Structure 1
Amino acid sequence: MAPKPKKKSSKFSGGKGRLSRESKPVKWIESMAVDMIVTLKKISSEYYHELPNRPDAHEARLFYKNIPTRRNRYGDIPCLDKTRVALIDARDGNDYIHANWVTMPNARCRYIMTQAPLPETTADFWSMVWQENVSLIVCLTKIFEQGKMKTLEYWPTSCGKQFHQKHGHVHIRNVGVRNEPHFALTLLEAVNEKSMERRKIQHYLYLDWPDHRVPICTHNFLQVVRYVDEEIANYKGKEPMTIVVHCSAGVGRSGTLVALQSLVGSVNEGQVPQVCQVVSMVRKQRAMAVQGPEQYLFLYWALTVHITSCCQIPLEAKKDLLKRLVLMKNCSTKSACSLSPITTDQPDAATSSARQARNEDGGDRKRRPSNVKRKTPRGSVTVRKSKP
């Protein structure tokens, strides 16, 4: 079992707070903007010389042992023994799954970073979700990318009893789904056929991030961070919330999200974000997290966008600051994101949907996306189609 994280509240939770111009995060981005060439060289040096590299073979013995069992999606992405999730209800006596516990100092949750399920591992995946009482799954990969399957469709993507799936001892049904251009938010009902216990699990599918690259839109990805933060803040369970994060390999995109979640938390507390330190911490628990200098540099750019969005400086000053930092954006993401800072006062579609679901159902135990109607007189669940 993973160690329990320390509970820590954020006075700027969800990006709603305001950083003064004299705050450490604002001073941090202003210092980076003084000479972007020097800044980019420093960031590049951090990535190539200061981060933990590929672990030694003896640190991932079970990963190599399980190569013949076809439980590893990729042969070059090791799973560390010291932080691995061990299956209690193991099939064939093998408790291995390519998944690691990741805990961060300022997090109010526990992360499980894992690879996308395979046909051979989907039952193990759902066994892990049930075993660790996971209430949120964040999927950062499309099912198919560039003609290749990046993840098995391990959850029912359509709503209705006829679309249920069964993996091992767990039955999964889609209770409702909200489809948006860059994400799909699904409420799943999982039933353990042994105990007949029922649980609700949120599934957030992010669609705006190509493999081995960075998010297409920085603003949209920061909405994912705010959505996860709000789900954590509203969690009412006795134990810390457990969140599964996966992409295809479970290291690049997944590591970037977990690292950014922690870094944004530090910024919201008025601290200078320690990017290299945080990524190192993630990599020591999930090997090779944050893949490539592009993803590493994106963390700096995303933090810049977040800080300028929630700091108390004149709009023109924000725009000028972002223009001086535009080289960082161009080196990390080729997106068409506007350089204009965005406001974080209004909740995005995902957080609004989850919030309304909690209000309608009286808490986290019965959450439902906002575009899903309650039971009709016939007892069926209907979903409104999103506008084209």
Structure 2
Amino acid sequence: MSTSLSEGYEQTQRGGTRAWEETFMKMHADSYREVEGRGLTTKIAKNLLNMERNRYVDVLPFDQCRIKLGSSTDEDESYINASPVSIKEAHRNYILAQGPLENTCNDFWQMVWEQKVPAVIMLNKVMESGRHKCALYFPSKNERKVEFDDFTAELENEKQHHNFVVRWIYLKRKDEGDASRRKILHVQYTEWPDFGVPASTKCFLDMLAYIKGQNVLSVSDDDPPCVVHCSAGIGRSGTFIIVDGVLRMIELGMAESDISLNKLLVDLRCQRFGLIQTPQQLMFSWHAIVDALPPKKNSGSSNTSDKSSSNGTDSDPTSLTDRKNKRKADEKEDSSTDDRMAKRREMVARMVARSRESEAARQSLVGNLANNMGISVRAVSSFGAKPSIFGSTATTTTTTNPNAEDIAVEGSPDDTVQVLRFSPNPNEKPLLAAGSWDGVVRVWMVNDNGQCEGKAQQNIPAPILDLSWTDDGTKIFIAAGDKEVRLWDLASNQVAVVGTHDGPVKTCHWIKGNNYSCLMTGSWDKTLRFWDMRQLPTQSSLANITHRCVSIFKDKTNSMPCGFAVGSIEGQFSIEVGRDLEVVLEYITWRLQIPRITSHSNAIDQRKL
């Protein structure tokens, strides 16, 4: 017997964090298989001329499912990082887009105009955690009119609600005048952290109820779409449409037991990949759906509607009493909420006291750690050893900004950081490796003053769950959600698969003994495996890619060709070299935002070009 959405949520919730991670990883793995099975590609988005129109190099629309600007067939002129997304069972049509860049604001409004969009739903702030998440493409009370190349957007009115701002905007083309201007609803939710979730489902559902009340969401397959965007157009935007779509399906009479969130998300990810970025967003989506479901009626209850009759009186004579009782229940619930908040404040106060009592011991531990690693205490403090959450202690001076001495790591991931590992080599400057849910492993060198310099990064087609350095600090083992374990050689920038499981690989650990060495891995398939690393797999030769440019280089001692570099249309950068020449990739690869770098050490015949 199929379970309802409520029962499925409660069952997963009882399993705790691990159950939500497993549910998310299953959806993630199913999505990858479906995308590969359908042959979906992102070549147009990776075109060199289009790369500057992408906010993130790893959030790209599929070639087979993207919004095209204008009537031009030119892939460069028609490109915008936005995807048409539909939930057929709900008759909902959306456009999911990244937050506009400074150079794509005109393109954004062109898309709104051409697609006859009635409303834009913005789920982020312009600035978040000191980073620009979106260009200021819309008018506001501070700037009532904004102009771009072809369009003018002018504010009619703006109203602040509890957690969101409502703006009515007049949009017009400059070449058509005021007669053709259109009125666009702009709703901005302001309390939703990136990669996080709102503080409560009620705040989110209040905004959704307001938008539904404006009759801007599609109710048939032919209705124009609403634009939904956050920073990348996948995490918060995906959460919004999955909640709205499922609730609409239920409103149209679909049984809860017939709705599979996993199947629905896999289908939506084949329209714009990456929707719902974290287990927390998946849990919040499910929670919001369950909270919004109408209460189940008892068998003896009446089906009489609570709506007013045509003469303006209540069709149900007890409805007024029911509403009063409901209001009393709500007031009681609010009182209970206040009690819970008071208890929470008391708990936080106790945590602060315990933190201050243990701070001296923590500082001593940090000092010992710094001496062992060969870096200064100030550098260690920059990574959070100083009390930046609970305030100052007796050994520190109170400042207006407790995070003033923290040092931001340039190039930090925009997704959840799953694992951090320092290199084990004590004779070199420390290297910090970070694995995140966006499928990228990043490596920084930590200087004596705590500053971090980006050294390398590697893309993996799945969330990174664990990392382990080899004892010499030259290689990193990568455990990922696609059931594979990889070895990344930092010197050659080569990656090889060294082990597989039947489930996501949760942990990996390099074991180095006097007479042996091996890799230990643990997986959600409930197995612990050991891998013999004495014979590593051979690396692949130059990938079979469509190249855009080729450069030959010569041995300085004899002026003979000894290798070449290839830059591909797909955005890959490959190098083939002989044994006598060491090739160094400059930082320009980072500047050009090349999404993936592969280098090879096998000598080849020059004539094969």
Q: TM-score, normalised by structure 2?
A: 0.44
Change (3 A) 1:190 1:89: farther
Per-residue CA shift, 1:14-62, capped at 9, x if unaligned?
xxxxxxxxxx98x542465468434865543332123413956961001
Change (3 A) 1:36 1:116: closer
Of all paired residues, the percent bearing the same amino acid is: 24
Q: Is the 8 A contact 2:9 2:287 kept in 1?
A: no
- The DSSP-based 3-state class of the residue aligned with 1:63 is coil
1:255 aligns with 2:255: no
User: Does the Cα contact within 8 Å between 1:187 and 1:203 map onto a contact in 2?
Assistant: yes
Aligned to 1:280: 266
Summarize the alignment of residues 136-285 of structure 1 with structure 2, pairs less than 5 Å apart.
136-158=119-141, 163-196=144-177, 197-232=180-215, 239-268=222-251, 269=253, 271-272=255-256, 273-285=259-271
| 1:107 shift after superposition | 3.0
Conserved 8 A contact 1:88-1:131: yes
2:59 equivalent to 1:77: yes
Higher relative contact order (CA 8 A, sep 6+): 1
CA distance, structure 2, for counterparts of residue 82 and residue 74 of structure 1: 19
Shift of 1:71: 0.1
Deviates more, 1:296-305 or 1:244-253: 296-305
> Unmatched 5+ residue regions in structure 1?
1-23, 320-333, 335-388
Alignment counterpart, residue 47 of structure 1, candidates 3, 24, 41: 24
Determine which structure has the larger helix proportion and give its number.
1
Equivalent position of 1:298 in the other structure: 284
Structure 2 contact 45–51 (Cα < 8 Å) conserved: no
Q: Sort the Cα spacing of 1:256 and 1:281 in 2 relative to 1 into closer, same or farther, 3 A.
A: same
- Three-state SS of the structure 1 residue aligned to 2:78 is coil
* Aligned residues of 1:53 and 1:288 also touching (Cα < 8 A): no
Residues 297-356 of structure 1: CA distance to partner in whole angstroms, max 9, x if unpaired? 11221122112x5444699xx99xxxxxxxxxxxxxx9xxxxxxxxxxxxxxxxxxxxxx
For residues 218 and 121 of structure 1, what CA distance do their matches in structure 2 show?
A: 32
**How many residues end up aligned between the 2 structures?**
292
Select the structure that is richer in strand. 2
Distance 1:30 1:282, change over 3 A: closer
Structure 2 gap segments, 5+ residues each: 302-325, 331-343, 345-609
Aligned residues: CA RMSD: 3.4
Whether the 8 Å CA contact 1:182–1:207 is kept in 2: the answer is yes
* Corresponding residue SS for 1:191: strand
Q: 1:191 to 1:41 in 2, by over 3 A?
A: same
Q: Tell whether the 8 Å contact from 2:117 to 2:226 is kept in structure 1 after alignment.
A: yes
Residue type matched to 1:152 in 2?
A
Q: Which runs of 4+ in 1 moved over 6 A?
A: 233-238
Quick check: 1:178–1:186 contact (8 Å CA) kept in 2?
yes
Match of 2:81 among 91, 98, 117: 98
Aligned-residue offset at 1:271: 1.7
Distance between the aligned counterparts of 1:250 and 1:35, measured in 2?
27
- Superposition TM-score, scaled by structure 1 size: 0.67
Q: Closer, same or farther in 2 for the Cα pair 1:44/1:266, shift >3 Å? A: farther
